[in-house]
Amino acid sequence: MEKSRYIAIEGPIGVGKSSLAELLANELNGRTLIEEVDANPFLPNFYADIKKFAFQTQLFFLLSRYQQQKEMFQQELFNSTVISDYFFAKDRIFAYLNLDENELSLYEQVYRLLDTRIPKPDLVIYLQASTEVLLERIGRRNKDYEKGVKEEYLEKLIDAYNRYFFYYNDTPLLVVNTTEIDFVNNPADLSNLVKEIKTMRGGSQHYIPLSSGQ
């Protein structure tokens, strides 16, 4: 496809978004836009009590994601490729999963004010993985607040992502199943994925790679 100036990577917790963003930036001679997840002061409490802390957590993420993207793209960095480990619209996936009706109504008012001011990606890469693989990857990176991530919540999140991207048609979309590959530690897996990205022709495509054997 024509060179993408803004690529956004999405997927559930632990799927490898940040890792792939760093690797792609190196492969494509681009710059990264990495979400500052650890800066959210409500996140540890959220995983301990989702219902109680969902709204504060979500609103913080919404505003910080908006501010980060606004600052990034005001710097006219489209002279080079930008690889982001999230895209702004993903925020609503979590909002609809975790907020009650009244919270969601207020959230939507704020979201609609901000969404039109954020540039749309030239390509979205949606990374998938099984619940078991995600739990393993989350455990491997050993973040204290993520120790509260429950399998049931992760399964609901995977389902919410799948539903969202089933209907997604705002930009070209590449869906990649990462359950059987390791693009971080296996150069061949990364190389094959980069080839898929470079040969995208628009619309939605699915890439289900064979196991790397590792």
Taken in order of first residue, the domains within the chain and their CATH numbers are 11-17+27-207 (3.40.50.300)
**With 0-12 CB in 10 A as exposed, 13-18 as middle and 19+ as buried, what is 141?**
exposed
CA 72/CA 55 separation, integer angstroms: 26
Q: What is the pLDDT of residues 97-152, one digit of tens each?
A: 999 999 999 999 999 999 988 888 999 999 999 999 999 999 988 888 888 888 99
State the pLDDT at residue 214.
46
Angstrom distances, CA of residue 124 to CA of 103, 121, 195, 211 = 28, 6, 15, 23
pLDDT above 80 (res 40): yes
| 85 catalytically annotated | yes
State the pLDDT at residue 3.
58
Q: Which residues contact 86 (CB under 8 A, 6 or more apart)?
A: 8, 9, 10, 17, 35, 65
Rounded to two decimals, the pTM is 0.91
pLDDT above 70 (res 213): no
What's 193's DSSP letter? H
- Choosing from 38, 49, 85, 182, which is the catalytic residue? 85
